[in-house]
Each structure stands twice: as structure tokens, then as C-alpha cells.
């Protein structure tokens, strides 16, 4: 990758991936775009207001900046998507199709993240294999499975260098999530520091795979820089780091904050989604084909999350 266009740079992943990529490839070589203006990103490097559903505008940006790689990060997440499935399909698939076509026409590599949400209740729950039955029960998951198939199709038929990972829930101390089922695993840390208590919307015994943002960012770059000759799979690699329940993450926080309290107010939509997803993913293919290896576990992540959030909110509200 020499010059990169990021579509959907204002989201949870994009807001941090933009800074990460600019640190590696140079601030002037990473063009951030989003449907809304972002003055902070614009101050750091090239930025354009861009609607990912406008293929002409996307192609123009790629041509003007001579981009050879596109990161398509546009998505309506699982819980939000269930409130408006038609809009979720329009946005998620529209942005993907435009990205694929622009990548084909301008000979760009393309990264589009998939998700643990691509699996459903009929998939094996524990150490879900790379290649297995995928029958998601959310429009978000349907979009992700369709996106994987379309990306593979564009690689096979047109030779587009498409690559992807199935992200678990992503935990970040920088950008708050935007309507996903795994959001509780971010919110719990903020509420622990700010209030000393948290009301959890998913059942305490439901396992879900998670990953800390520094590992997620590194995975994006490592996959895109991997030798294509070694990639048996492309769209999309299982990615695993840690798997836990709300009760487990609560216990980890209590090791550092003994007075922390957690109660439950179950969201039926999030409960149904969480219970339909795998408990854990088998990421053997990612490890073997491009050397994936997570660096963060729950204990280390908890230390870092609490430290960073405490710096941001030095006066705890009790």
C-alpha cells in the first residue's frame, strides 16, 4: 500500500485506523473520508466529505489522490440495523458494491471488515471454524455474509485484491461504539470509572469474542501487507483474541475496583443477537496464512482501559 483511501473514517474503527495508518505510511498518503466533516482529521492530513453511496465521488477521490488501496469501513451495526433493516442493507451493501467497483476500475486493493455477526445459531458455538455453516439472524449478519461472497467473487472474476477479517467485538478507549451488540464491553469501563456501577443489557453468562483496538488495527495492516501467494482464504479470516461473559469482565474490573457494582436490564434484541453468535472463534487460518497473533488479553486490556479513561475523567462521579 502506498496511498490509501478510507471510506467511513469517522466511525469507531475508522477514527483510530486513520491515525494508525498515517503514522505508518505518512499523513499525506492516507485520505480520510466520511459523510460528515471532521476537522480533527482534516487538520492531520487529507480529508474529504464523501457519501459512500456516491460511486462517482468515490472514484474521483481515488483518481485524484492516486490511491492503490481502499479501506471500506461503512456499516450500520447489528442492534441499530435491526431497527431499520432496509436502510442497513442500502448503506452496508451500497458502500461495498461501490468500493468493489471502484477498486476494480482503478486497480486498488480493498479491505472490508466482516464480523462475528456473520455466524448464526446453527454455526458451531465453540471455536467456530473458519469454514462452516453461516446462517445469521440479523440484517447486519446477512450483509456481512453477502459481502464476503461478493468480495470473493470480485477476486475470482476480476482479480481484485480483496481481503477481510471477521472482527469480534472491538473494545476501544478512544471512540465509543455505535449500536453494536458487544458495546457493553466498552461501556462497562466508562461507567465503572465515571459512576462505579453499570447496568448490563445482555445476560451475564453469554460468551462473546472480543478484541482490543490496538490488536484490531494491527491486524488490518498485517493482512493487507501479507504475501498474497500465502492467502488461501481472503474473505474473511476468523480473528480471535479473548472471549468472556459480562460476569467475567465484571470480576476483572472488581479486582481493581472492589466496590464496582453491576446490575442487569436485559435488552431482548441484544440478548437474542448475542445468544445467536459464537462463544469463540478458531483463528488458525489467520495464524498460519499471515502470522496473526494477538498481543492483548483481558487482564492487560482492563489495566489499560481503566488507566486511559481515568485520565480522561479524573474526577469520579459517585
- pLDDT, one tens digit for every residue, the chain (318 residues): 899 999 999 988 999 999 999 999 999 999 999 999 988 899 999 999 999 999 999 999 999 999 999 999 998 777 788 889 999 999 999 999 999 999 999 999 999 999 999 999 999 999 999 999 999 999 999 999 999 999 999 999 999 999 999 999 999 998 776 667 888 999 999 999 999 999 999 999 999 999 999 999 999 999 999 999 999 999 999 999 999 999 999 999 999 999 999 999 999 989 998 999 999 999 999 999 999 999 999 999 999 999 999 998 876 444
Are 157 and 43 within one domain? Answer: yes
Are 203 and 302 within one domain? Answer: yes
Given the residues 20, 140, 189, 212, select the one marked as catalytic: 140
Give the pLDDT score at 177.
66
Beta bridge partners of 208: 244
For residue 254, tell me if it sits in a domain. yes
Long-range contacts of 121-129 (CB under 8 A, 24+ apart): 121/275, 121/276, 123/278, 124/278, 125/278, 125/279, 126/278, 126/279, 126/280, 127/280, 127/281, 127/282, 128/238, 128/278, 128/280, 128/281, 128/282, 129/238, 129/282
For residue 301, tell me if it sits in a domain. yes
What's the burial of 156, exposed, middle or buried (CB within 10 Å: 0-12/13-18/19+)? exposed
Q: Which domain CATH number covers 9?
A: 3.40.50.720
Expressed as residue numbers, the domain containing 191 is 170-210+242-281+295-312
Give the pLDDT score at 16.
94
Question: What's the rounded Cα separation, in Å, for the pair 163 and 236?
Answer: 7
**Nearest alpha carbon to residue 235 among 224, 251, 246, 249:** 224
Cell numbers representing residue 98 in the block: 461501490
Are 20 and 93 within one domain? Answer: yes
Are 46 and 85 within one domain? Answer: yes
Are 175 and 145 within one domain? Answer: no
What lies within 8 Å, CB to CB, of 233 at 6+ separation is: 130, 131, 285, 289
Are 48 and 183 within one domain? Answer: no
Cell numbers representing residue 189 in the block: 469501563
Give the pLDDT score at 111.
98
Question: What's the rounded Cα separation, in Å, for the pair 233 and 166?
Answer: 12
Are 202 and 134 within one domain? Answer: no
Are 230 and 254 within one domain? Answer: no
Cell numbers representing residue 88 in the block: 442497513
Question: Are 316 and 193 contacting, i.e. CB atoms less than 8 angstroms apart?
Answer: yes
The verdict on whether 140 is a catalytic residue reads yes
Considering its fold, how many domains does the chain have in total? 2
- Strands of 168-213 (E only): list them: 169-171, 197-200, 208-212
Amino acid at each position: 500500500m502506498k496511498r490509501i483511501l478510507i471510506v467511513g473514517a469517522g466511525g469507531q474503527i475508522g477514527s483510530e485506523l486513520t491515525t494508525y495508518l498515517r503514522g505508518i505510511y505518512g499523513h499525506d498518503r492516507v485520505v480520510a473520508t466520511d459523510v460528515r466533516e471532521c476537522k480533527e482529521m482534516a487538520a492531520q492530513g487529507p480529508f474529504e466529505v464523501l457519501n459512500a453511496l456516491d460511486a462517482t465521488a468515490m472514484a474521483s477521490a481515488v483518481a485524484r489522490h492516486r490511491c492503490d488501496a481502499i479501506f471500506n469501513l461503512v456499516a450500520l451495526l447489528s442492534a441499530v440495523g435491526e431497527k431499520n433493516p432496509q436502510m442497513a442493507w442500502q448503506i452496508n451493501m451500497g458502500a461495498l458494491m461501490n468500493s468493489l467497483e471502484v477498486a476494480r476500475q482503478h486497480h486498488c486493493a480493498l479491505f472490508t471488515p466482516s464480523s462475528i455477526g456473520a455466524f448464526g445459531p446453527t454455526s458451531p458455538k465453540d471455536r467456530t471454524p473458519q469454514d462452516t455453516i453461516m446462517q445469521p439472524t440479523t440484517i447486519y449478519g446477512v450483509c456481512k455474509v453477502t459481502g464476503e461472497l461478493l468480495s470473493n467473487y470480485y477476486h475470482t472474476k476480476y482479480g481484485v485484491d480483496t481481503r477481510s477479517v471477521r472482527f469480534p467485538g472491538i473494545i476501544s478507549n478512544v471512540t465509543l461504539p455505535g449500536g453494536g451488540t458487544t458495546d457493553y464491553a466498552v461501556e462497562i469501563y466508562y461507567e465503572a470509572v465515571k459512576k462505579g456501577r453499570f447496568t448490563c443489557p445482555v445476560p451475564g453468562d453469554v460468551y462473546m469474542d472480543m478484541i482490543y483496538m490496538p490488536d484490531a488495527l494491527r491486524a488490518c495492516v498485517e493482512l493487507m501487507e501479507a504475501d498474497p501467494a500465502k492467502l488461501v482464504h481472503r474473505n474473511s479470516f476468523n480473528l480471535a483474541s479473548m472471549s468472556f461473559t459480562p460476569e467475567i469482565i465484571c470480576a476483572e474490573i472488581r479486582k481493581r475496583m472492589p466496590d464496582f457494582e453491576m446490575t442487569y436490564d436485559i435488552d431482548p434484541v441484544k440478548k437474542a443477537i448475542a445468544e445467536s453468535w459464537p462463544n469463540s472463534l478458531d483463528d488458525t487460518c489467520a495464524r498460519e496464512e499471515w502470522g496473526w497473533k494477538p498481543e492483548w488479553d483481558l487482564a492487560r486490556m482492563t489495566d489499560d482501559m481503566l488507566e486511559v479513561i481515568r485520565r480522561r475523567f479524573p474526577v469520579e462521579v459517585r
